[in-house]
Each structure stands twice: as C-alpha cells, then as structure tokens.
Structure 1
Amino acid sequence: MSTTTKNKMTRRQVLGGLGLTLAAVPLSQLLACGDKDPGTGEAGWATGGTAAMTGASTYPNPFASDSGTACKLTCEQILGPCHGTTLVRKDISEGHDGLPVRLAFRVLDESCKPVPGATVDIWHAGPEGVYSGDDMHPFCNPDNQEARAARWFRGVQTTDVDGRVDFDTCFPGWYKGRATHIHFTINIAGTESVTAQLYFQDSLNDDITGTQPLYTTRGQRDTRNTADLVVAQEQLGDFIFQTRKMPDGAMLAWKTFIVRSSTGTPLCKANSKTLQDLIDAGFDPNDPNAPPPAFP
C-alpha cells in the first residue's frame, strides 16, 4: 500500500541546533514480568512483546463511554526524518520484545461523527530507541544493519464504520533530544489530513524506563515532555495518550483524532514557537538538505 511521500529532516538539523544538554539518569531497580511491585503489591507490566497479550480478546473498548469528546481539531506537527515504507497490518512488532501495547485510535470529523475509510499510518522507535527501515535518513538507525533490514514498529490500518483502528506494538524507547513519542499521519481519500506525534505521561515514562526489561538498560530518558522542543507546550495536553494497565500486564493506550471533513483547508499548528517561527521564516524542517537552523 502506498503512503504519502515526503522529504525528511534529520534530528540533528532540527534538534541539534537547540543546544540540548544531554544527561543520563542512573538505572532503577528492575521489575521482571510477573513480579509484584513492592510498593503497591500489583502485578508489573508484561514483557516479551505482543505474544504476552494473552487477554487481548477481552480488552475493553476505551471509547465506549467517551460521549463527552469535544470536537477540537487535531493540529499539525512535523513529520520527522524517520517516516518510511509501511505495511498493512495490526501487529507491527515483528516479534520484537518489549512491553506489549494495544494502541486504539478513533477518527472523527468536526461534528464528532466517525470517519470510516481513513488510513492511519504509525511509526515509532523500538525499545532501544532505534527506528527500522532503509529508506530514510541513516541517522534514524546509524550503523544498525538489523534495523535497516526490518520494518518493525511501522504499520497502517483503515478505519472501520466507527472510525476506529487498533495496532499491537511495544512501548517505544527514547532517543537523545526527544520525549518518548509515536508518529502518525492520517489520509482521507488519498489526501493527507493531519500529521503529528503522540506522547505518554512523564510519570508513566519514568515507571517504564526505570523498571522494565530492555528499557532500564538505557536509563531514564534525557528529555521530558515539558522539555520537548517539537510540540508546542501549551498544546501538549492534546497529544497525550490515555492509558490503562490490562490484567495480563499489557498497556491499553488510546486517542481520538478530530479531522477536517474538507481537504485543502489550512491546518492548525502544534509546533513549538521556536520551530514554528523558523518554519514561518522559510526553514523547511522536512528537507534533509536544509542547513541546521540558527536557534537563538
């Protein structure tokens, strides 16, 4: 299935000029799959990838009681440098280990009516903070031939009559200069509707990177949501997942997108002010040949 082809920026070009100070946080205590949290007595998060989602058929519909959704348009963020060829599938993990996650998305129009037939394309880094694929900037997976030969953590699905799609994946890892995030782009009738990124609560990120196998080896991430310089901080709350731990230890994470019913209408923007100022001045963050931005 073809996806919209776009030029790509490098992380160094957009983030390298931001003067980010990178610091590692010491590792936290490991909590293995099936162990109890000594603080709460609750079962820990599952490990082992999507194969550990033993209760998947009984996961609840997170949108069943979400009748009070405000029809606020989902705004645009940058595509990023690591968008690449995708595959039509629900399970995007390719057997990769990690904390299993069911991602549930719903696409609605401005009047909160479901949008069937829209394609939702998602991609994110693996637990080690590396993207798969060989058709993007090498900075996305430098010197990692295994990652370049794979397509894990990439997939596209078409919304059903309720405007919903689901993906089974693993919790994404972090990489320098960015908060933990998942990319998405939505196309309606072959035309891009909105492209942006989604985030998890900082407290949840701290829990996972501090206690879970694969994630603890890299320590706590260096950039919290409140320090991320891609998303406008005043709009950050619009891009945070709602989450819930399932009885089998997997995570259910969900988000509703509100898209314009008409194409070609200018989108609202959710880039950070500094980045948006540069874009307004002519800097193209999706151009891999663009010089690094001269951030103040």
Structure 2
Amino acid sequence: MSDKHDTAPTGMTRRRVLRGMGLTLAAIPLIQVVACGGEDDPTPPGTGDSGTGEADASTDSGTAASAWATGGTAVMSGDYVDPFTAGLGETCTLTCAATLGPCYAQTLVRKDISEGHDGLPVRLAFLVVNEKCEPVPGASIDIWHAAPEGLYSGEDASTFCTADDPSATSARWFRGVQVTDAHGRADFDTCFPGWYSSRTVHIHFTIRIGEAEHVTSQLFFDDALNDEIIDHEPLYNTRGPRDTTNANDNVVSAESVGNYLFQTARQADGAMLAWKTLVIRSSLDAAQCQIPGGGGGGGGPPPGDGGMGPPPGDGGMGPPPGWDGGLPPLPPDSGT
C-alpha cells in the first residue's frame, strides 16, 4: 500500500536516498559508538516524568483493553502535545551503543514508515542533543523494527528476520530515516512493534551526522505496556504470550533497561505518543560505552513465522552482507 507521508517511492535507489537526505552516507565501518538519552528515569506508561525535564505528555495510560486505537497510521489525528517542552537541565548523560543485528536493510526517507500496515498507531518523537544538552540539528535518525506479526521487511534483510515470507520480503515497512530540525527533533509515524522469540519488544536506531555514525543502539517499552498490548489488542493478541521480557532479554540487562525505555502516553485519538531524548558525543574521539547485555531469551521461533525466527540475541550474525555503514551497496549503474 502507499504511504501517505512518503517523500520517496518504494523503489528508491541509494543515490536518491542520499540526495533526499542532503547527506553523504558514505561507506564507513560499523563502530559501536555511544549516544544516549541515557538518564531518562524509567516510569510506568503515561506518567511522563523522564528525569531529564521532559514534559508530561500523558492523557491516558491506556490500561483498558479498548483504550488504544487500531487501524494503523491512517487513523492518527497528528494533534499531539510536545513532550520536550520542559527542557533537559544542565546534565545529559550518554546512552550506550547496542548491536546492529542482522535485520538492517535498505531504508527510505519518510516520516510515515508503516506503508499502510495495520496495528496500534504510534508517533515516535526523538530529541537529539549533545553532552551539554544542546540540540543537534541535521542529524539523520534511521530506525527499523518488526511488524505486529514479528517479522522484519525487505528482500535484502536476512531470511532469519523475514522468514522468507512474501508479504515481508516484498515490502519495506517499518523502516525509515528522518533528519532532525533546528531544535534537534525528528518524528516518525509507525505501529507498535511485534515480538519474536528470544527478544523483548524493541526498536533499532542509528544516528549519523554527515558521513559519521554516532550511535547504533536499541530502545524498549515498559513491560507492563508490552503485556497489555500483546494480551489484549487486535493483531497482537492472536500470537500467544511472548517468551522474552525486559527482565531476560539477550541484548539489554534487566538492571540497565530503564535507561533505554520510551516514555509513552495515549492520545485523544487512541494513538500512542512515545518519546526519547538521545544524547550523542560532540566528538567521535570521546569515550564510548556499551549497553550492559542481558543473559536470557527464549527458545524457538513463534508459530506462524515460517519456521524461522531471528537468531537468539538479534545480533549474532552481524550486519547483512555488503552493509556499508547505512545503506546497501549500489547496484550496477542504471543511470538512476
């Protein structure tokens, strides 16, 4: 299906992506760098107190099964509060890097990354700042995550991630890039991610400035919110209980996951507003850190995914073949 917010067609080539971003995402080796919105104080869904001065954007925590909307991004009004109005104070602590995982694939420059896929609609709001809490304009935020059914998209993604499902390999849903504005903010419209075996619910992201990758990491949602949606919401409640939570995930430890949680609030139209401040290094020469890893994870793939789930830990395979620091390698020159 078409994406009402696309700024580029699904068949966009790498050259057009680069042109649309106004950036040069040249080939660079993957470096596990630090950025972070690290010191956000973990709170239950909808409470709105991040510990970094972010505003309380809560209208309803969505505890009732009927509280959340369905129907994907098409039902979103877009009239949502600004969760970053309270400022960040004077101290911004770096959030650490996490594994890229094997599910990265070609991306598109667009705000709505759903491609019409059904699900619980979510507005993701990111604020990128440096260690001095100063906004970072012109930074590209590249995100990717699983669909409600637990699969990633893209024929160039590992079959461990797509299960070689035709609906997944022929799509490019839940992948996209946006560039931060003068205030350091960038937003995406998407659907709440699904779970798959051995991983808690998560969203991948990479932040780049020009050619330099400043962070590759992952963000998570409160476990109570995950269970509420997986147990009760359409699409999500048909797959049974998940086998991995924030307490036993392979990538992030239970003790550190609180620093990497989105804050969330249900909006008047039933969509979720989820927001996070990401603090990146002013210089790539600055010290780096890694998310403390977990030690848990479940067993085999969930039913109905073609018999192949992503590998345990979502990171044991490294980047897809030919990964060039952000976009897949150029095909033979076709004049486009």
* TM-score (ref. length: structure 2): 0.69
Task: Specify which structure has the higher proportion of helix.
Answer: 1
8 A contact 1:50–1:100 mirrored in 2? yes
Alignment length, in residue pairs?
251
Match of 1:116 in 2: 137
Counterpart residue number, 2:318: 286
Alignment of 1:45-194 (within 5 A): 45-54=68-77, 56=78, 58-68=79-89, 70-194=91-215
CA contact (8 A) 1:49 1:99 kept: yes
| 1:173-195 superposed Cα distances (whole Å, 9 cap, x missing partner) | 00000000000000012210011
| Alignment equivalent of 2:67, drawn from 30, 38, 44 | 44
Identify unmatched segments of 5+ residues in structure 2.
1-16, 19-24, 31-61, 297-314, 322-336
**The residue matched to 2:255 in structure 1 has which SS?**
helix
Aligned partners of 1:76 and 1:271 also within 8 Å: no
Q: Distance in 2 between matches of 1:284 and 1:217?
A: 28
State how 1:212-223 maps to structure 2 within 5 Å: 212-223=233-244
Asked if structure 1 preserves the Cα contact closer than 8 Å seen for 2:99 and 2:216, the reply is: yes
Deviation of the 1:288 alpha carbon: 6.8
CA distance in 1, matches of 2:169, 2:244: 25
TM-score, with normalisation over the residues of structure 1? 0.79
Q: Residue deviations 1:39-69, cap 9 Å, x none? A: 9779520000001112x1x200000124347
Give the deviation of 1:266 after TM superposition: 4.0
Indicate the SS of the match to 1:234.
coil
> Using a 3 Å threshold, how does the CA distance of structure 1 residues 273 and 253 change in structure 2: closer, same or farther?
closer
Offset from partner CA, 1:119-174 (integer Å, 9 cap, x none): 00000000000000011211101130121111000000000010000000000000
Q: Which moved more, 1:262-271 or 1:132-141?
A: 262-271
1:30 is matched with none
Which residue identity lines up with residue 64 of structure 1 in the other structure?
Answer: T
Equivalent-residue separation in structure 1 for 2:271 and 2:90 (angstroms): 25
Alpha-carbon distance, 1:74 to partner = 1.4
Cα distance in structure 1, aligned partners of 2:63 and 2:202: 27
Name the CA shift for 1:6/1:220 in 2 (closer, same or farther; >3 Å).
Answer: farther
Pair 110,139 (structure 1): closer, same or farther in 2 beyond 3 Å: same
Evaluate the alpha carbon distance shift between residue 69 and residue 235 of structure 1 in structure 2; reply closer, same or farther with a 3 A threshold.
farther
Q: Alpha carbons of 1:40 and 1:155: their partners in 2 closer, same or farther (altered >3 Å)?
A: closer
Does the residue aligned with 2:256 lie in a helix, a strand or coil? helix
* Secondary structure in 1 matching 2:247: helix
SS in structure 2 opposite 1:208? helix
Aligned to 1:265: 286
Change (3 A) 1:288 1:157: closer
Aligned to 1:36: none
Matched AA of 2:75: A
CA distance in 1 between partners of 2:169 and 2:83 (Å):
34
1:42–1:76: structure 2 CA closer, same or farther, 3 Å change rule?
Answer: closer
**Equivalent-residue separation in structure 2 for 1:126 and 1:160 (angstroms):** 27
Cα distance 1:49–1:288, how it changes in 2: closer, same or farther (>3 A)? closer
Can you list the C-alpha shifts for 1:91-116, whole angstroms capped at 9, x where unaligned? 00000000000000000001000000
Paired residue secondary structure (1:74): coil
Tell me the CA shift for residue 6 of structure 1: 8.2
Contact 1:119 1:157 in 2 (8 A): yes
Structure 2 residue corresponding to 1:252, chosen from 239, 260, 273: 273
Q: Structure 1 pair 146/284, CA: closer, same or farther in 2 (3 Å)?
A: closer
Equivalent AA in structure 1 for residue 70 of structure 2: T
Amino acid at match of 1:224: T
Q: Distance in 2 between matches of 1:264 and 1:138?
A: 36
Q: Which amino acid aligns with 1:82?
A: C
Question: What is the CA RMSD across the aligned residues, in angstroms?
Answer: 2.6
CA displacement at 1:229 relative to structure 2: 1.4
Q: Which amino acid aligns with 1:97?
A: D
| Counterpart residue identity of residue 252, structure 1 | L
Relative distance call for 1:148 and 1:268 in structure 2 (3 A) is: same
CA spacing shift, 1:284–1:50, aligned 2, 3 Å: closer
